[in-house]
Structure formats: C-alpha cells, structure tokens
Structure 1
Amino acid sequence: MVDEGNARGYGRFLGERYGDRDNVTWTLGGDHPAGGEERLWGNLAEGLREGGATQLTTYHPQGDQTSAQWFAGADWLDFHMIQGGHCLRYGVRQRLIETTYDARPAKPFIDGEPIYEEHPYCWESDRGFSTAQDVRRDAWWAVLGGAAGHTYGAHSVWQFNDGGRGALGARGSWTDALRLPAGGQMVHLRELMESLPFQLGVPDQSVITSETGSGKDRIVANRASDGSYLLVYTPSGGGFALDPAATSGLTTARWFDPRTGAFRDATPGERFEPPSDEDWVLLLTGPDAPGPDGPGDAAAGPVS
C-alpha cells in the first residue's frame, strides 16, 4: 500500500522505469479526493522527478472537484484537472471551470471526466441517460470557459461492455457505442478552435449585454485578446445581444453547427437569433482574421 512514508520511493521507482517514455502522462489520484493526503501525492510526484520522469503530471479528483482545491501552488503539477461528473449539476460545473481558470499561478486545465455519453444520470437508470447534447454542452462550456482541451467518454466503452447490462447501468455494446453521435461531434469543436488563434482566447461574459441564462441554458462567450474573433455558445437556441464595442471590426458573422461542423451565414448586428432551438456557436471574425472561410470548411467526418 502506498502511503506518505513510501510514496517518494515508489515514485522514484516509476520514474526510473518509465520516465523516458514519450507516451506517458502521470495522472495521480485516480478519481480520489486529496484532502488530508496532499503530502502523499506531493511525495509521489517528487519521487517521479527524482527518478528521471519529465512527462506532464496532473491530479484526477472525484466528481464536483478540481485539483486546484489542493494543488494550486504545487510546483510538480503541470496542468489542473476537474471532474464535472455524470450528474446535471450545472452550477457546480460552472464553479469548477471558473475557479480553476482563476487559480494562481495560472495553469492549463481540462475536464478529465465530464458527463459520458449514454451514462445514467447520477448513476440512476430510472432518471434517464445522458444525450449527445449533454456531452456537447460540457465540452463547449469548458473550452470557451478557458480549458486547454476536453475529454470524451462513452459509458459502455470504458468498461468494454459486451452488450448486456453492464456496470453502473451501462447498456449496449462498446463496439456500437463507438458510433454514438457526440463522439464524432467532438472533432468539430477541435477543428473550429484549431482554425483560430485559440491561444489568444479568454472567457468574457461582459460582451453579452442580454441575459445569459442559467443551468442548461447558460450562454457563454470567448474572445481573442487581440480582437480577431469572438465566439458565443448558446446551448438551447436562445438569442442574445452583444456589446457593439466588443464586435467593432468583426465584420463577418456565421453560425457554426456543433452537430455537423457546417456554417450558416448570420447577419452582423447587436442581436443574434440562432437558426433553431438546438445548440449553436456564433463566430464573429474580422476581414483579415485567420479561420474557416465559409460553409463546409469544418465538414462533418469521423474521428480519426
């Protein structure tokens, strides 16, 4: 059993054995709260470094938690991890994203365990199962909230369920789950963000001058610090108004469909109404800004 007394030696052993591998990331904790065990995990991480490990290191907390609760100032932690979890606690998820983004010193973070596709809500099958839209909401909220990336999971895949009733209410086979819709839709988020200078993006709710909604309807905005683009995600098709000062110089407006990766023209102005009551992303860019040039540039396709 690893404890505070032997963790450093165990970490040194792991570092000596695997520290030169280029396909390793050290994820300490393993779905576990660190309260009262901060020194144990710190000793393990320091042992890894002493053993020669140079790979990235993070900490995987339990649901509704963030590694920044315990390790905001830890030198050994390279990026933070939150666990949004498998319930629809929208306010908790918002707090995790905002507090981790604001943690100092600033470090990248991801939601390492957001809601999995086809997961029973809060592990209770009679409450229903998560949908592709649930998964997309978590992803877009996190990335536009400042996350460095996102994790996708399907409930039957992680346990390789054979098609019967699996662990924690899983249903269906893992091979069928590979074709669930949200798994393919994550590529559209990545393609859109990588088509922009996303390293300049900062979450900024002040650009929205109308109500931003709450819960599953919460609208979020992210803008480039150099003013080259503005993104607004509306998860339930709600319209919104934008501050004209924030959109000055952004002459091209398009709706991005997070389900297909296709674009639709939008009319620049102060008020924007999405094409339907599904989730949509508004992209505003200037005439010389990098990024997709028109509909179909982020066309739908399989995850590779």
Structure 2
Amino acid sequence: MKKLVKSLIFLVALGFCQLSEAQQLKVTTNGRYLETDKKEPFFWLGDTAWELFHKLDREEARHYLKTRASQGFTVIQAVVLAERDGLKTPNAYGELPFHDLDPTKPNEAYFTHVDFIVAEANKYGLVMGMLPTWGDKVFSEHPGAGPIIFNAVNAEAYGQYLGKRYRNANLVWILGGDRSVANDEVAKTWEAMAAGLDESGDGTHLMTYHPRGSSSSSDSFENADWIDFNMYQSGHVKKFNEVYRYTQKDLALRPIKPTIEGEPAYEDIPLKFWDYMKFEPGEFSDFTDENGNMKDLSPFQEGFFTGYDVRVLAYWNMLAGAAGYTYGNNAVWQMHKIGETFVIPTLSDWRGALKRPGAESMKHFKKFFQEIDFTKIVSDQELILSENPENENQIRSARASDGSFLLAYLAKPQEITLDLSEMTGEKLSGFWYNPRNGKSTAIPKFSPTLPLTIQPPTTGAEDDWMILILDKIEIRRKK
C-alpha cells in the first residue's frame, strides 16, 4: 500500500501544474455556514457542470466559466471521471484519465487539462466543487456506464494523487456521485478515498458526499469525521418538491453541520424522465430536430421544469436554513453540443442554455441573501398567521437571529398575514423583492405592533415574491 501511494506522489511531483495560492473555505464556528479563511461569509451558489472536464475544450471551458462568474455563481461542480463513459471515451483532446483503466496509472495529459480548468475557474473567483469520480465507478445498486474500478486500496491511492495535485487549488471535494452507499465495503472505499485526499492535501479542503436522489449524505455518513458539511439531492421527481424537509432533517442532527442542496430539479429537464425513457439509442429520433434537441415534447406527459420551478426551490431551501443552493440545467450538466445524442432529452445545446431564465435569476437570488446577511437566518413557520397549506401555495418564512429582519417567500401570489412580534426595532420598514428582476418595491407605512396582512404587488400565475421587514428605515446595503 505505501509503495503504491509513494509512486503516485512521485508522479504528481513530476507532472503537477502548480496552481496559485487560493483562499480555502472553512465551516463557521456555529456549524451552520461556510466562510473564507478571512472569516467572510461564503454564499454557495453552485452549478452542476458534471461533464466539464470530459466534454469541453479549453476555449469552451473558458467561455462557460466566464459566463457563470458574470452571473454571480460561486461554485462549479464537475466530475474528474465523468458519467458519460468517462473512463473509455476520451476528453476533447483525445485523452483518457488512466492507462489500462488503472487508477494507479494516471494519464498526465488528461490531468493537465483538468489543471487548466481548475486554474481558470479560480482565476474567475470560482471555487471548484470537484468530484473525484462519478458513483458508477464504485459498486452500487444502480449501475451506470462504469466500469467499476475502485476498491479501498486504490481509492486511497487515487485520493492521494488528487489531494497532492490540487493541494493549492481553491476547491471543495465532493465524493459519491449520484449513488447511495450499497454496503460496508462501498462505505470503506469512499472513506479510503477521503483519507487519501485529506492526507496528501494537508487537510486544507472541505469534503462532502453527493448522494442519490431524495436523500442526503447524512443518510450514510451521519457521524463521519470527513464529512465537513452535508449535501442532499431532492432530484427531479416533481414540481414544488418539499426541499425544506432535507434542510430541516440535516440541521436537526448533532453535531450540527452546514447543509446544501447539491442537485435539485434542473431547468429544462423532463419531470420523472426515467418513467418515460428506455435509455436506448435513437428512441426519440422522431421527436428531435436537426440539432439533436427535442422539437416535440409530447413523450413527456408531465412536462419540463422551468426557470420558475427551480427558482421556487432555491428560495425554499434558503429560508429553511441551507448554507447555499446549487442550480442546474439539463443541457449544461451533460455539456450537450449541437448534433450530439443527449443522455436525457434537451431543449438546447449547452451554450444556448447558459442564459436560460432560471440561470439569469440566480444573480438576483444571491444578491438578496448577501445583502440581508443570510448567516442570520432562522427558519420560523410560526410567523405565518394566515392559511399555509403544504403545496404550491406554501409560504416559507424566517427571521434574523438578532431580530433585525423578517422574511416570507410566496411561490404563488396570495394574501399573507405576518406576526411581527419577533421584530426588535421600534420603527419598521418593509419591501417587496421581485425574484425575477431583483427590483424592490416599498411597502406603505404600517403599525409594528399589529399583525401585518398584505397582498403582493402582482398576481400573475408565476409571480413569486419575497417580503422583507426591517428594523431600520433603510436597508444597509452590503458593498
């Protein structure tokens, strides 16, 4: 075992493309959020670019990263050994990650390309959420393209290799890759990989686990020391999914750890696509156009998720106390190119999908929560005095830990009655915040001593609104 690890470290020393020193993320002392090593709050706004290292060349990768940085994203989640036959299908430069499918024989040319993308992301101020491998390369009850190549011995060696190579990069390690932990041997394999990453990386990077849909990393690794924060995947099962339940469950565990949605419903993905697909080549050829995208959506009877749908999940997650949110687009995760065959039916190529409405609305989402200081959020549904059914009409509410603000998010426009008794200020002011364009509308003066009953400014079917009550006349904008 030691010889294997030493040989890999030697390979790293020969071929490592040194990355610039970067800030590393830490968990806050209260165990709820992430921060930089300068003690500044870090807002996780991720994008699932799973096939980034595998599918894009350097010009394409630079375009993708520059675009996401301009939209306010802070984390790019990508997989070193990708889902789309990443062990046997070469990257954009014809390179495979390993020689002879052996994790102890890395191909320097492949990892040089990974080096470039990681460094480029860091240059744009983006943190890489790096998955060492997709979960189908480890045994699971839901096989994929695979093949299965990892065990506890070579997983630790591979972790050593990556940890050493990217020691100075600004990144977070995300183990797993859309898979549950099938048995104790599988758990030991992931734990060994985590140990390798931690040892050769000098413990500088946070780690978590990306699970299968409708589950959290805490389901398999609740007490694991190497899990610095939890990650859950609510998945693509339905609109108005009760994502806040995952946050509530994770935050009730002790010791408390930050928790983040790592894969919600994607914009432009069919609802419950697995019920309508056989995953066979050409099965939708009669429904696609010359670019390889769907021109007829009728095979998917429950429709596709929209920008509005994913925006609702983002706000529901944050008001439940999550440390951030990961957006995703169906064409972007698979880096679907014009004329290619998709994995899951797409509505556009990856370039065209970058500025879809849901993605564009994320900059307003991030701006809002940074300006109010999201680290003060305490989920509190008791603030809603009006009817509040647990469906698309669900209103999510929260207050500041110091009583300085109160929040309520309306996925559907409706009358709301708020209990203001938790507010500490003698003078209150209020605003309606429009998640669609980031604009605020002042609320007429109201009494701070009585419950507030109010209607949002507009009542369109997809006109979601956030109400913000402050203990100051003017909000202190965070520069």
Q: TM-score with structure 1 length normalisation?
A: 0.89
Q: Number of matched residues? A: 293
Q: Which moved more, 1:211-220 or 1:275-284?
A: 211-220
Aligned partner of 2:237: which letter? Answer: C
Contact 2:307–2:357 (CA under 8 A) maintained in structure 1? yes
Query: Is residue 329 of structure 2 the alignment partner of residue 144 of structure 1?
Result: no
Query: Is residue 371 of structure 2 the alignment partner of residue 222 of structure 1?
Result: no
In the alignment, the residues of structure 2 paired with residue 239 and residue 80 of structure 1 have an alpha-carbon distance, to the nearest angstrom, of 35
In the alignment, the residues of structure 2 paired with residue 265 and residue 180 of structure 1 have an alpha-carbon distance, to the nearest angstrom, of 29
Q: 1:273 aligns with which of 455, 458, 468?
A: 455
Q: Return closer, same or farther for 1:291/1:132 CA change in 2, 3 Å cut-off.
A: farther
Aligned partner of 2:180: which letter? Answer: P
Contact 1:11–1:46 (CA under 8 A) maintained in structure 2? yes
Q: Percent identity?
A: 36
In the alignment, the residues of structure 2 paired with residue 241 and residue 178 of structure 1 have an alpha-carbon distance, to the nearest angstrom, of 38
Contact 2:243–2:316 (CA under 8 A) maintained in structure 1? no
Q: Which moved more, 1:205-214 or 1:231-240?
A: 205-214
Q: Return closer, same or farther for 1:107/1:121 CA change in 2, 3 Å cut-off.
A: same
In the alignment, the residues of structure 1 paired with residue 406 and residue 242 of structure 2 have an alpha-carbon distance, to the nearest angstrom, of 26
Kindly state the Cα deviation for residue 90 of structure 1 after the two structures are TM-superposed: 4.4
Alignment of 1:1-304 (within 5 A): 1-18=149-166, 20-36=167-183, 37-53=186-202, 54-88=204-238, 90=240, 93-123=243-273, 124=276, 125-163=300-338, 166-247=342-423, 249=425, 251-267=428-444, 268=446, 270-277=452-459, 278-287=463-472, 290-292=475-477
Match of 2:145 in 1: none
Aligned partner of 1:206: which letter? Answer: E
In the alignment, the residues of structure 2 paired with residue 292 and residue 47 of structure 1 have an alpha-carbon distance, to the nearest angstrom, of 43
Q: Return closer, same or farther for 1:284/1:292 CA change in 2, 3 Å cut-off.
A: farther
Aligned partner of 2:199: which letter? Answer: E
User: For 1:214, what is the secondary structure of its paired residue?
Assistant: coil
Contact 1:28–1:60 (CA under 8 A) maintained in structure 2? yes
Q: TM-score with structure 2 length normalisation?
A: 0.58
Give the gaps of 5 or more residues in structure 2: 1-148, 277-299
In the alignment, the residues of structure 2 paired with residue 35 and residue 216 of structure 1 have an alpha-carbon distance, to the nearest angstrom, of 34
Kindly state the Cα deviation for residue 198 of structure 1 after the two structures are TM-superposed: 1.8
Match of 1:302 in 2: none
Contact 2:240–2:309 (CA under 8 A) maintained in structure 1? no
CA RMSD of aligned residues (A): 2.2
Q: Which moved more, 1:146-155 or 1:33-42?
A: 33-42
Contact 1:228–1:289 (CA under 8 A) maintained in structure 2? no
Contact 1:64–1:93 (CA under 8 A) maintained in structure 2? no
Give the gaps of 5 or more residues in structure 1: 298-304
In the alignment, the residues of structure 2 paired with residue 258 and residue 92 of structure 1 have an alpha-carbon distance, to the nearest angstrom, of 19
Summarize deviations over 1:260-298 as a string: whole Å, max 9, x none: 0001122435212112232100001012674349xxx9x
User: For 2:327, what is the secondary structure of its paired residue?
Assistant: coil
In the alignment, the residues of structure 2 paired with residue 90 and residue 254 of structure 1 have an alpha-carbon distance, to the nearest angstrom, of 25
In the alignment, the residues of structure 2 paired with residue 205 and residue 177 of structure 1 have an alpha-carbon distance, to the nearest angstrom, of 35
Q: Return closer, same or farther for 1:291/1:85 CA change in 2, 3 Å cut-off.
A: farther
User: For 2:249, what is the secondary structure of its paired residue?
Assistant: helix
